[in-house]
């Protein structure tokens, strides 16, 4: 369904892309351009790539200064050029499935013939766009822990590798926190795994509520969680870990049993890889548990005392 906000409101169902000049109501040369666009858009499942190809091809036929695509379910936004006064907007749907909103803008008004050209090209975007959205949903599902709703170990491996490379390249700080629920096995043994699952969900939410927007928490496995702190040195990491520890201790759970966590922190050095950084944080966590639990231990402190 395409909805035009200018020059007049109207609705039209987007069906399967036409394949002949008669169906499209265009000259054979226009058909060749449309089919070329369709072919280009089938070459990728990345939203950025598809939209960039589509807008580049659209610009060949209709002049515009800016474009903006938004798909709220994926928190995805794509901007092209600069927004101007006059706009034409499309709310994209296919068989009832919402596929986002696309807006074109420029300094002068769009003529009716130009809108028709945009619509013809837009028909070629619908299916590739839907496939890309499905692909992104599949990626998100594969990287999300189904119990807690936070990202999982696979997502952590990918993001940690990228952030370590960026930190080394830009010489910026990066820290890691590994957290583990104290005596979690007793919760499962005493109350059952269903209650244990509720505790894990509350634990993950408690951590998330006490992080900055740039920090990311992952469920590493079982009752162990990892927090990635971009732009944070060792001192900041310890401060975050202590804030999280206190929040966990004061969090309300579904059982009337005190819940605490042990946390280990480590900060990236010039010699660290993703593996060595994680091992350092995990070693600090082990020391926190061995030293009585419900505390934060930094890898740096272990070096100083050894």
Q: Which residues are catalytically annotated?
A: 223
Cα–Cα distance, 89 to 91 (Å, whole number): 7
Dihedral (C-alpha) 146, 223, 284, 176: value to the nearest 10 degrees?
Answer: 20
Residue 184 backbone dihedrals phi, psi, to 5 degrees: -70, -30
How far is Cα 203 from Cα 252, in angstroms, rounded to an integer? 9
- Residue 35 near residue 125 (C-beta atoms within 8 A): no
Compute, in degrees rounded to 10, the torsion defined by CA atoms 155, 161, 163, 165. Answer: -160
d(CA 1, CA 273): 49
């Amino acid at each position: 369904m395409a909805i035009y906000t200018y020059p007049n409101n109207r609705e039209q169902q987007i069906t399967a892309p036409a394949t002949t000049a008669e169906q499209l109501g265009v000259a054979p040369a226009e058909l060749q351009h449309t089919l070329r666009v369709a072919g280009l858009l089938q070459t990728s499942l990345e939203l950025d790539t598809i939209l960039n190809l589509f807008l580049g091809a659209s610009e060949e036929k209709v002049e515009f200064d800016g474009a903006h695509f938004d798909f709220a379910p994926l928190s995805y936004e794509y901007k092209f050029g600069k927004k101007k006064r006059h706009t034409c907007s499309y709310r994209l749907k296919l068989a009832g499935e919402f596929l986002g909103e696309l807006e074109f803008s420029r300094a002068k008004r769009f003529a009716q013939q130009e809108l028709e050209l945009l619509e013809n090209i837009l028909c070629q975007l619908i299916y590739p766009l839907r496939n890309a959205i499905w692909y992104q949903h599949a990626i998100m599902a594969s990287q999300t822990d189904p119990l807690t709703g936070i990202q999982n170990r696979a997502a952590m491996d990918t993001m940690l590798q990228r952030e370590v490379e960026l930190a080394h390249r830009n010489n910026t700080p990066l820290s890691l926190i590994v957290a583990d629920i104290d005596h979690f096995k007793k919760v499962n043994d005493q109350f059952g795994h269903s209650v244990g699952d509720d505790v894990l969900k509350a634990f993950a939410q408690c951590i998330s509520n006490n992080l900055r927007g740039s920090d990311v928490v992952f469920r590493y496995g079982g009752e162990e969680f990892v927090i990635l702190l971009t732009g944070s040195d060792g001192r900041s990491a310890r401060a975050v870990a202590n804030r999280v520890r206190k929040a966990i201790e004061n969090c309300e759970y579904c059982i009337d049993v005190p819940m605490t966590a042990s946390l280990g922190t480590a900060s990236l050095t010039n010699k660290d890889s993703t593996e060595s950084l994680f091992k350092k944080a995990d070693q600090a966590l082990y020391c926190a548990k061995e030293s009585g639990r419900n505390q934060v231990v930094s890898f740096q402190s272990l070096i100083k005392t050894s």
